[in-house]
Structure 1
Amino acid sequence: MLCQLLVLRIFAPSEKALMNLSEKLTNAVKDAVQELFSASLETVEVQPTRKDFEGDLTVVVFPILRVAKGNPAVIGEQIGTYVKENLDEISDFNVVKGFLNLVIADAYYLNFFDGIRDQMNFGHEPEAGKAVMVEYSSPNTNKPLHLGHIRNNLLGYSVAEILKASGKKVYKTQIINDRGIHICKSMLAWQKFGEGETPESTGLKGDKLVGNYYVKFDKAYKEEQSYLVAQGKTKEEAEKEAPLILEAQDMLRKWEAGDEEVVALWEKMNGWVYEGFEETYKNLGVDFDSYYYESNTYLLGKDNIEEGLKKGVFYKKGDGSVWCDLTEDGLDEKLVLRSDGTAVYMTQDIGTAIQRVKDHPDVGGMIYTVGNEQDYHFKVLFLILKKLGYDWAEHLFHLSYGMVDLPSGKMKSREGTVVDADDLVEEMATTAGNIAQELGKLDGYSEAEKQELYKIIGLGALKYYILKVDPKKRILFNPEESVDFQGNTGPFIQYTYARIQSILRKAAETGVAEDYAYEALQPKEKELIKQLALYPETVQLAAENHSPALIANYTYDLVKEFNSFYQQVSILGADTDAEKSFRVALSKKVGEVIEAAFGLLGIQVPERM
């Protein structure tokens, strides 16, 4: 994909001042064919020059042979000569068989670099128009956040930040699943076994305390089932008739009826969980602009179903249930209202989407960050909203992602085998500390500085490892592999950033001038500027594809290019002051882009490592 960008919109020193080079080149080739062969050429095929040939952009000559007959190598030479004479941006060319390789002039790269060197965020201006709402996290209040939630939060937050960087106005939101039988299970278990425990009395985060009682409920519930089976009940009968599940169902009915005692317990325990969630979000470095609660939204949508019945979007069956027939759209019939008039999840999702646009009238689209097990649900939801006639429904997107596995296997919340998000973040910092100490990289750091750095490295390793993978793919997360100071990892990129900051400090100490008169680029300097030039369009492409992986892997490519430059070209030991100043400025810009790109991934970069 980045190669396509290189061709389509590469190296715009200033798009307001200069025509896009690809467009100018295309026009020059067309003019050459017209003048040299008296023929009209509709399209020109341009691609990046292969690494093993000299050049930056390559014109494929073979398609031109349809209108200009002759030897492709000779035709390539003729067109190359014309383009070099008529485009100042082209300094040289060569022809390899049917490929015309063009060398872009150093002045072009230098003009581009001069245009961006003092811009902290070169790229797209904010767009006018509709905003985008990004939903992510959306946890249940019966347990703490776990590894799966981490991927969800990191994806949603990063996509929101990328959209903002691409020029969009963004609202970050979540819907908290704070009602239902699973919530009542934790509440009932606390009533029965809690003996008044609180987060304060136990020293546990509220979400962890409540999650413990969800596990205790499941354990006691299974014991009751085993007893009933031993008394002659079937497994199915035991599941339905166990006293605990009957009590939990009764508690849910009381909550829905507004029973004061049940509602008070619900508010207290949910309050504990919300405080715990906020601490986890802070540790992860994610935030939200608004919150929706299922306890407030579960009745939404019923009025919309009535409107849909009048429009013929829905139909009612003989038992009074309401359905949407989507068979002509390749889907099935979908229940949207039960025969007793109660809502299903689809009902409230329809109502919640409509309510969000009422709350934020400038929203023109929404992104739902939800695991791929809900792919079908969102196909149905989006289609129904379109049928109801909402124009913003054309701009709904399900940011579907695969599961995250650990080498130890699958996680199960009710059995207490989930990898707690807080514990994993802490483990990552510990792992980073162990590896850093083994490498002996922290001489001269205070203990407080070390602990802060371990957290930055560990969390950066976790985020990068998850975000560098296409969202749709399932991940096997290996904590130790992620905290590697070599290869395509967060710490490797953070270390390169810290190396650049060290260069800049030494440059300041030795009085390296900021101004320079530089005319001839070294090949490694040119390659580094070419990589910098891709950043704005990489952001745009990542926004269009809702893919932080494009940003992550672009950053890795930039870092690899910088390290190659660092190894082969002397920066502070350059032969001339102009070379030294230019290379320091180039290094500084690379550091700024690394910091900006990692910021879109929610990753911090340390000044020293």
Structure 2
Amino acid sequence: MATSIQQTLIEQTVRAVKELYNAEIPASQITLQETRKEFEGQITIVTFPVTRFSKKSPEQTGTEIGEYVQRNIAEISGFNIIKGFLNISLADGYWIELLNNTLLRVDYGQFPSNGKRLMVEYSSPNTNKPLHLGHIRNNLLGYSVAEILKAYGYDVVKANLVNDRGIHICKSMLAWQKFGNGETPESANLKGDHLVGKYYVIFDKEYKKEIEGLVAAGKTEEEAKKNAPLIKDAQEMLQKWEAGDEEVVGLWKTMNTWVYAGFEKTYSQLGVDFDKYYYESNTYLLGKDIIQEGLDSGVFFKKEDNSVWIDLSDEGLDQKLVLRGDGTSVYITQDLGTAQLKYDEFGMNESIYVVGNEQDYHFKVLFLILKKLGKSWAEGLFHLSYGMVDLPSGKMKSREGTVVDADDLMAEMIETAQTRTEELGKTEGLTEEAKAELYNTIGMGALKYFLLKVDPKKRLLFDPNESVDFQGHTGPFIQYTHARIKSVLRKAAYASGSAAIPSVLSVFERDLIQSLANYPAIIQASATEFSPAQLANYVYDVAKLYNKFYHEETILKAEDPDVKAFRLNLSATAAKVISESMRMLGIAVPEQM
């Protein structure tokens, strides 16, 4: 809802209470909401808070407030009372003026810069395997939140912290060394991340065989796991890497190069990007200065074995290790250092970590430690925690039988989109190249929308077939609506909108204008709550309302030129809001389908 009429209503309600009941009510206690669809009206004033001043029933109070505001606000055409709710109807002229003077402006929905810088860190892959379904949700959330915050006026830095070192990386390297016979992505005709992932799986299989052999020879399972030759070799390789061994570091660089090339293809297909890459190989030694800083200030303490801890029991948590007794880092050590490094480089006001909810405790501890260390920027840290993605069993193929590979999933989505699109006969007149682009747009749109329409905190069940439904609560339905509007505008040879004033509005026109008027408020809510789901569900509502309007009203064949021009303007505004909303979600909308 446009804020000016709301502000006017709040001001007039405050005056009404003063004049009718000789009482002062703070504007903050006046609650406005959109009128429920089953009742007449567009804005509802909740009258319960006023009854303590009026000493009358909610209905009587609502009637008196309604009569007062209608006398004093020209745009109000009527009102009705439902218990403690005063439903206000706004005149057609208000909605017509709103479209002509606000919604049709070139800069409608654009926010000026707020002068603040914000970092969104997402993806954070390991370089020992390809990206999977969980990474897809992570990347889509991070990218979309970043785009929404940009639209809301932030200077946004998209960051990716790559986990490119550690024992898991050495496992892939060692397996390739022992079993690879010099295989490369080119010789195997495999993406580099898939090739390296293949050797991670081979390591695991061979390691299990060694464990079984040792257990059969009389070792306990725990002893076998520690003493299997492969794990000892991997640990030795990690030590060599940390010591800068030329051969090991050279192999590490080669295999990581393969992986990065593979990741880039996946990121490109997914439509996400990054402004800054951080690598754990460069950051894992960071944080030790901060540990010393905390010891000097008394925030940390040492135990007898020289290990460094922080006591968070006053905050309802426990004691937390921040540095081992031998001086080596734990994860929280390098995360403290990396947080400082990011702030030193970019000086951002806020920083969002997009990481699954299994890390909730870790981030609670990390942010608390930084606050205790007196870091002024720690107040701006936020963990965008999200739930797991499940699949209906047997619906998708999985390369290793447990994890659904991101590349496989995207390929299957495009294939499903092709099948469904051809079944519906929506490819007439398109070249083969245009068809391929359309299938990609629909398949990726279906995947992205389905994952983004659900609140990030919730675990979700992703059904590939349901996501490509052209009539459901899906990306393809919204994409098809956009293509439909563009078709109408093409047939009308629509250029740009100049004001048109019809004599009367239909309920379908008014409802659509009302929804489009909410667009800036939705961007604001989605940005401040870091929730693409709000924007995703809003754009679906816009598409639904447009389709109702399209089916109930004549556009191209409207006899009155003003009515036709007005409806074309309304259509163009709907297309713009749909297109921009979907762009912020990382979803392309076709011009025709």
| TM-score (structure 2 length as normaliser) | 0.96
Partner Cα separation in structure 2 for residue 348 and residue 97 of structure 1: 59
Alpha-carbon distance change, 69 to 372 in structure 1, aligned in 2, over 3 angstroms:
closer
The runs of at least 4 aligned residues of structure 1 exceeding 6 Å deviation read 409-414
Q: Secondary structure at the match of 1:381?
A: helix
Where in structure 2 are the equivalents of 1:278-357 lying within 5 Å? 278-357=264-343
Where in structure 2 are the equivalents of 1:242-253 lying within 5 Å? 242-253=228-239
Deviation at 1:409, TM superposition (A): 7.4
Kept in 1, the 8 Å contact 2:42–2:89? The answer is: yes
Q: Secondary structure at the match of 2:78?
A: strand
Partner of 2:465: 480
Q: Secondary structure at the match of 1:277?
A: helix
Where in structure 2 are the equivalents of 1:415-434 lying within 5 Å? 417-434=402-419
Deviation at 1:120, TM superposition (A): 4.5
Alpha-carbon distance change, 465 to 231 in structure 1, aligned in 2, over 3 angstroms:
same
Deviation at 1:334, TM superposition (A): 0.7
Partner of 1:3: none
Give the counterpart letter for 2:151 in structure 1.
Answer: A
Q: Secondary structure at the match of 2:54?
A: coil
Partner Cα separation in structure 2 for residue 253 and residue 70 of structure 1: 80
Alpha-carbon distance change, 292 to 38 in structure 1, aligned in 2, over 3 angstroms:
closer
Partner of 2:217: 231
Alpha-carbon distance change, 380 to 41 in structure 1, aligned in 2, over 3 angstroms:
closer
Partner of 1:368: 353
Deviation at 1:107, TM superposition (A): 2.0
Kept in 2, the 8 Å contact 1:117–1:585? The answer is: no
Alpha-carbon distance change, 384 to 115 in structure 1, aligned in 2, over 3 angstroms:
same
Partner of 1:28: 12
Is 1:446 aligned to 2:431, yes or no?
Answer: yes
Alpha-carbon distance change, 85 to 136 in structure 1, aligned in 2, over 3 angstroms:
same
Partner Cα separation in structure 2 for residue 411 and residue 91 of structure 1: 55
Q: 1:540 aligns with which of 524, 536, 560?
A: 524
Deviation at 1:146, TM superposition (A): 0.8
Partner of 2:455: 470
Q: 2:163 aligns with which of 168, 177, 182?
A: 177
Is 1:168 aligned to 2:154, yes or no?
Answer: yes
Partner of 1:7: none
Partner Cα separation in structure 2 for residue 322 and residue 79 of structure 1: 65
User: Alpha-carbon deviations, 1:111-162, whole Å to 9, x = none?
Assistant: 2212334435523533343311110001000011111110110000001111
Alpha-carbon distance change, 96 to 424 in structure 1, aligned in 2, over 3 angstroms:
closer
Question: Can you give the 5+ residue segments of structure 1 that lack an aligned partner in the other structure?
Answer: 1-9, 13-19
Give the counterpart letter for 1:246 in structure 2.
Answer: K
Kept in 1, the 8 Å contact 2:35–2:43? The answer is: yes
Partner Cα separation in structure 2 for residue 411 and residue 501 of structure 1: 34
| TM-score (structure 1 length as normaliser) | 0.93
Partner Cα separation in structure 2 for residue 335 and residue 72 of structure 1: 59
Partner Cα separation in structure 2 for residue 541 and residue 440 of structure 1: 39
Partner of 2:513: 529
Deviation at 1:518, TM superposition (A): 2.6
Q: Secondary structure at the match of 2:493?
A: helix
Q: Secondary structure at the match of 2:349?
A: strand
Alpha-carbon distance change, 110 to 266 in structure 1, aligned in 2, over 3 angstroms:
same
Partner of 2:491: 506
Kept in 1, the 8 Å contact 2:417–2:468? The answer is: yes
Give the counterpart letter for 1:454 in structure 2.
Answer: Y
Kept in 2, the 8 Å contact 1:11–1:109? The answer is: no
Partner Cα separation in structure 1 for residue 399 and residue 292 of structure 2: 38
Partner Cα separation in structure 1 for residue 317 and residue 397 of structure 2: 31
Q: 2:120 aligns with which of 130, 134, 151?
A: 134
Comparing 25-34 and 323-332, the one that deviates more: 25-34
Alpha-carbon distance change, 209 to 72 in structure 1, aligned in 2, over 3 angstroms:
closer
Partner of 2:368: 383
Alpha-carbon distance change, 261 to 70 in structure 1, aligned in 2, over 3 angstroms:
closer
Alpha-carbon distance change, 265 to 587 in structure 1, aligned in 2, over 3 angstroms:
same
Q: 1:585 aligns with which of 569, 572, 590?
A: 569
Q: 1:458 aligns with which of 428, 443, 446?
A: 443
Q: 1:114 aligns with which of 100, 115, 118?
A: 100
Deviation at 1:567, TM superposition (A): 1.4
Kept in 2, the 8 Å contact 1:214–1:414? The answer is: no
Q: Aligned residues, how many?
A: 591
Kept in 2, the 8 Å contact 1:26–1:44? The answer is: yes
User: Alpha-carbon deviations, 1:158-216, whole Å to 9, x = none?
Assistant: 01111111111110001111100100010011111111111111211111111100011
Deviation at 1:416, TM superposition (A): 5.8
Deviation at 1:37, TM superposition (A): 4.1
Deviation at 1:227, TM superposition (A): 1.1
Partner Cα separation in structure 1 for residue 35 and residue 511 of structure 2: 12
Alpha-carbon distance change, 259 to 373 in structure 1, aligned in 2, over 3 angstroms:
same
Kept in 1, the 8 Å contact 2:104–2:497? The answer is: no
Deviation at 1:438, TM superposition (A): 1.1
Deviation at 1:73, TM superposition (A): 4.3
Partner Cα separation in structure 1 for residue 81 and residue 289 of structure 2: 69
Partner of 1:194: 180
Alpha-carbon distance change, 120 to 484 in structure 1, aligned in 2, over 3 angstroms:
farther
Kept in 1, the 8 Å contact 2:104–2:569? The answer is: no
Kept in 2, the 8 Å contact 1:372–1:402? The answer is: yes
Q: Secondary structure at the match of 1:570?
A: coil
Partner Cα separation in structure 1 for residue 583 and residue 364 of structure 2: 32
Q: Secondary structure at the match of 2:119?
A: strand
Kept in 2, the 8 Å contact 1:154–1:467? The answer is: yes
Partner of 1:216: 202
Kept in 1, the 8 Å contact 2:354–2:383? The answer is: yes
Partner Cα separation in structure 1 for residue 99 and residue 397 of structure 2: 52
Is 1:58 aligned to 2:58, yes or no?
Answer: no
Alpha-carbon distance change, 449 to 187 in structure 1, aligned in 2, over 3 angstroms:
same
Give the counterpart letter for 1:65 in structure 2.
Answer: T
Alpha-carbon distance change, 76 to 185 in structure 1, aligned in 2, over 3 angstroms:
closer
Alpha-carbon distance change, 359 to 72 in structure 1, aligned in 2, over 3 angstroms:
closer
Deviation at 1:80, TM superposition (A): 2.5
Alpha-carbon distance change, 506 to 388 in structure 1, aligned in 2, over 3 angstroms:
same
Give the counterpart letter for 1:374 in structure 2.
Answer: Q
Structure 1 vs Structure 2 CA RMSD: 2.1
Deviation at 1:297, TM superposition (A): 0.3
Where in structure 2 are the equivalents of 1:47-126 lying within 5 Å? 47-70=33-56, 73-126=59-112
Alpha-carbon distance change, 293 to 72 in structure 1, aligned in 2, over 3 angstroms:
closer
Comparing 89-98 and 272-281, the one that deviates more: 89-98
Partner of 1:15: none
Partner Cα separation in structure 1 for residue 496 and residue 243 of structure 2: 74
Q: Secondary structure at the match of 2:579?
A: helix
Kept in 1, the 8 Å contact 2:396–2:409? The answer is: no
Partner Cα separation in structure 1 for residue 364 and residue 252 of structure 2: 33
Deviation at 1:446, TM superposition (A): 1.5
Partner Cα separation in structure 2 for residue 413 and residue 256 of structure 1: 34
Partner Cα separation in structure 1 for residue 360 and residue 446 of structure 2: 29
Question: Can you give the 5+ residue segments of structure 2 that lack an aligned partner in the other structure?
Answer: none
Kept in 2, the 8 Å contact 1:512–1:580? The answer is: no
Partner Cα separation in structure 2 for residue 333 and residue 414 of structure 1: 41
Give the counterpart letter for 1:470 in structure 2.
Answer: D
Kept in 1, the 8 Å contact 2:41–2:88? The answer is: yes
Q: Secondary structure at the match of 1:67?
A: helix
Give the counterpart letter for 1:491 in structure 2.
Answer: P
Give the counterpart letter for 2:2 in structure 1.
Answer: F
Kept in 2, the 8 Å contact 1:206–1:276? The answer is: yes
Comparing 453-462 and 49-58, the one that deviates more: 49-58
Partner Cα separation in structure 1 for residue 63 and residue 388 of structure 2: 54
Q: Secondary structure at the match of 2:118?
A: strand
Deviation at 1:36, TM superposition (A): 3.6
